Structure 1
């Protein structure tokens, strides 16, 4: 588990206070654009609320070096959603391209650009005949990638490993990086009425960028920087949405249970 301790032995608490606004509008019949502005005051504290600038290993916790940063961003995202069902898709595709520019205002004077892309494809199949239930029988594929140009506060590094990343690893056990590529494939199928099953494989790499994060927290915590996991899961359609439970085994032979809501992608 990604466990960051402070010099006094307390686990670090990341406090974010701020707000923002965004505006969505159609770019054309297929693409939707979203323009956003956000300000966040970010501070690193112990369980009593005291501010700390470094962790127990001497790694900086903020870009300003004081334990408190001001992060002001302007972002733009373009999205094309061609899924037949946004909650539990059985056909179609989804793509998002996003850029987020930080403005050097306040503590930290953070000047950088965060670029991210996310693509998912859903292909209906009849691989196993006669299956019936709420879960569509589908091959689902997802590729994500991201990088940060310019300043990168440690708390904004890409976190690889965990429920929404590489299953079979705990949160952050693969890497803490400036850049990454993550790929997932799933075979989703119905089991009985509101219960579905999943066979999955995930893989990710930091593209050798862990040394680009201030303090190199991933390297100092011996994160491998790349890894993959495979496993099985259940999907339960409930009144509050899809409940997700996965059991994964990673390339090192370790196992991990994962729980969440909604499909992974």
Structure 2
């Protein structure tokens, strides 16, 4: 009935963040101002829309604005000390959770709008599909993530492939950075004791040959392979604050990495 319908909820968001990329002394200072509108949640679907203005400024480790990297290539799309953009973002999610399985889908689309002078005009899409199946006392989770960006772009907008949540066994973004990305993950979890699990996993990721289409081709200059495989094992502790994970991964170059993380969503998220 109409009286049961819920109105969308809107809120204003203001954020100023300095992201330390750790990439040869280049960091990003990001100022955002926008409005988020969250649609009423249905049984399986969530949806939200936002419009925001972003002012992005590359800075060095001393906090000074820079427009070029150590090799002399531009760090911004405009070629100036900063980029401005107005972004319309639509995000939708679907979740179907059952006793013995789950299916989750997350879709994000960002559209850069040419509403201010020299603002970036682009379309960026990213979609993740995850499927979990219970096999007796064990659990198998697979996921696939794909992304694409067309139009104007700065090097910092490229999809960073590698690291925790992407391809384990590599540093953050060490596999590649491109206009396209495709990442697959598979993890098999076995209970070891009460609130304790062990897991085996394999991750794969690729920029699908799109690194050369990123301005300045930073991936090639930094020696990123563009494709990577990582595999390993881990232990998970399920606690009241979430799932505490310790993972050990090795990549295709036999480099080994430990990861420590806390997943507030709990087990199976």
Which TM class, normalised by the smaller chain length? 0.7 to 0.9
Change (3 A) 1:62 1:264: farther
Change (3 A) 1:106 1:53: farther
2:61 is paired with a residue whose SS is coil
Root mean square deviation, CA, Å: 2.1
Which of 78, 86, 111 in structure 2 is aligned with 1:72?
A: 86
Deviations 1:5-51 (A, max 9, x none): 3xxxxx12211111323222258653322111122211111233210
CA distance in 1, matches of 2:208, 2:268: 23
- Counterpart in 1 of 2:214? 213
CA distance in 2, matches of 1:98, 1:205: 19
Q: Is the 8 A contact 1:68 1:107 kept in 2?
A: no
Greater shift after overlay, 30-39 or 171-180? 30-39
Which of 85, 101, 107 in structure 2 is aligned with 1:97?
A: 107
Displacement of 1:258 in angstroms is: 1.6
Give yes or no for the alignment of 1:116 onto 2:130. Answer: no
CA distance in 1, matches of 2:40, 2:128: 19
Divergent runs of 4+, >4 A: 26-29, 105-108
CA distance in 2, matches of 1:99, 1:222: 30
5+ residue gaps, structure 2, are: 1-20
Deviations 1:158-180 (A, max 9, x none): 00010111001111110011101
Give yes or no for the alignment of 1:191 onto 2:192. Answer: yes
Q: TM-score, normalised by structure 1?
A: 0.86
- Counterpart in 2 of 1:261? 262
Alignment coverage as a number of residue pairs: 246
Query: Which gives a bigger RCO, structure 1 or 2 (Cα 8 Å, sep 6+)?
Result: 1
Deviations 1:55-85 (A, max 9, x none): 1111211111112111220011221111249
- Counterpart in 1 of 2:46? 32
Displacement of 1:106 in angstroms is: 4.4
Give yes or no for the alignment of 1:4 onto 2:23. Answer: yes
Displacement of 1:146 in angstroms is: 0.3
Q: TM-score, normalised by structure 2?
A: 0.85
- Counterpart in 2 of 1:229? 230
- Counterpart in 2 of 1:8? none
- Counterpart in 2 of 1:204? 205
Give yes or no for the alignment of 1:50 onto 2:64. Answer: yes
1:65 is paired with a residue whose SS is coil
Displacement of 1:246 in angstroms is: 0.9
- Counterpart in 1 of 2:9? none
More strand as a share of residues? 2
